[in-house]
Amino acid sequence: MASSNTKGTNATNGTLKGQSKSSKPRMERKISSPMNPAFMTSAPGKVIVYGEHAVVHGKAAIAAAISLRSYLLVTTLSKSQRTISLRFPDIGLSHTWDIDALPWSTFSHPSKKKMYYDLVTTLDPDLVKAMQPHLSDVSPEATGEHKKIRQAAASAFLYLFLSLGNQTFPGSIYALRSTLPIGAGLGSSASISVCLSSALLLQIRTLAGPHPDQPSEEAELQIERINRWAFVAEMCIHGNPSGVDNTVSSGGKAVLFKREDYTRAPKVTPLRKFPELPMLLVNTKQARSTATEVAKVGALKGSLPVITEAILNTIDAVTEAAYKLITSATFNQKDPHTAETLGKLMGVNHGQLVSLGVSHPRLERIRELVDLVGVGWTKLTGAGGGGSTITLLRPDASPKALKELEGKLDAEDFERFETTLGGDGVGVLWPAVLRDEGEEEGGVEIDQQKFLEAEGETGVESLVGVGAGREKREGWKFWRI
């Protein structure tokens, strides 16, 4: 992202269309080099509509992007500043590393060095060990789950930075914000991983686009590169992720995802006609660990292999039934029978997840409240053990009943979101300037202070959001297949 070019983008220089040689940064932005203006990346969260946990064991899952997103602002420092900083106020993380003190000799060794186009399916234990001295002082004052979350985020960032970069990498500040609840089963870590992956790949100039006339095949290749390295970051955070979260966050829309062999790329079938279903998303605010829940199912499979495999096969059959319905030639999302069928399948899916032991009383309470007012079909989404539920609303759900449900959820301290399924995947804002449609000059320049001080999810969305509550906002561009 360092060079300026008005001829669009290509895989060699990685510059973005619309960049002008005459553009100059404002005088007050002293920390950024004129040839390296601040830029942003953004990626959506996701919900697994069908197939969670079974997907870890080689079965299929359907996942869809949601309108809640993470945002990463990258500010390049002057050449004399040889540091990289990760600032993530939403989880209380702020840490700076000396670039020249990092373990480059280990990561750049011929037996260890990876290229940006490589498929990395396991973390190298020698590289993980080399990072440890540089992670031990991350948030030393934190304890318990807070410390674990912060060190996992720092580990994911540092592993990607050292794998993709080199010792001549420019000093930079990486500021992260998210409108996604952390640890709620909505793919927040994958969303962050995709933001980091895309930003670093852009900085080393290995991505083309995105631009409106980019060939679909080229866009697909770019998304796959981003996705592969986002999966590496996910391994740093979760240990044994399925890969579904980072896949849907990278590509957006919805996908049928299946990974039978972790030494090979997953089989991903885009669902470009996935219906924009009205969903109520409810966060239990009950903390849980994806790794713990995944391990729980693994342990059950070890002790009761035949029964557990039967449950996983039933979940797979539910996913297949939903896929066949959505992709059938006669599919009509406005048909009330369609919503009822998809809703019933969600109910069956949830029941099987309960059998696997990954539900939670707070999740079951949400289902109970929804059933009492009769407005839709509810299931847990993600790892379970807490996290979130999704409710497919009945087409004929009464406003009075919905209002009653909202009141009950609020009274029991649940967090509600109205969300849209099937939106865009990873996007880029280069330079970090947003303008409203029809605005000929100027725009809102997103500097680090504004970004870090934006208040809550609403403040972040208002400042940098892809939609930001407006019909049209120019600046954000997306890789689209």
> Per DSSP, what are the bridge partners of residue 66?
421
- What b/e readout covers 274-302, taking b as 16+ CB neighbours within 10 angstroms? bbebbbbbbbbebebbbeebbebbeebbe
Q: Report the C-alpha gap between 402 and 178 in whole angstroms.
A: 27
* Contact status, residue 271 vs residue 255, Cβ threshold 8 Å: yes
206, 211, 216, 217 alpha-carbon torsion, rounded to 10°: -20
Backbone phi and psi for residue 102, each to the nearest 5 degrees, phi listed first: -75, 160
Quote the tokens at residue 119: 């498929």
CA distances from 229 to 151, 232, 291, 295 (A): 19, 5, 20, 24
* Contact status, residue 43 vs residue 191, Cβ threshold 8 Å: yes
CA distances from 341 to 108, 234, 344, 355 (A): 53, 33, 5, 22
Q: Which DSSP string corresponds to 37-66?
A: --EEEEEEEEEEEE-TTGGGGT-EEEEEEE
> Per DSSP, what are the bridge partners of residue 377?
392
Tell me whether residue 245 is one of the annotated catalytic residues: yes
Quote the tokens at residue 451: 């970004």
Q: Which DSSP string corresponds to 208-225?
A: ----TT--HHHHHHHHHH
* Contact status, residue 383 vs residue 185, Cβ threshold 8 Å: yes
* Contact status, residue 72 vs residue 40, Cβ threshold 8 Å: yes
* 3-class DSSP state of 201: helix
* Contact status, residue 386 vs residue 360, Cβ threshold 8 Å: yes
CA distances from 474 to 3, 35, 441, 467, 477 (A): 22, 22, 12, 10, 9
Task: Give me the catalytic one of 90, 124, 126, 245.
Answer: 245
Q: Which residues are catalytic?
A: 245
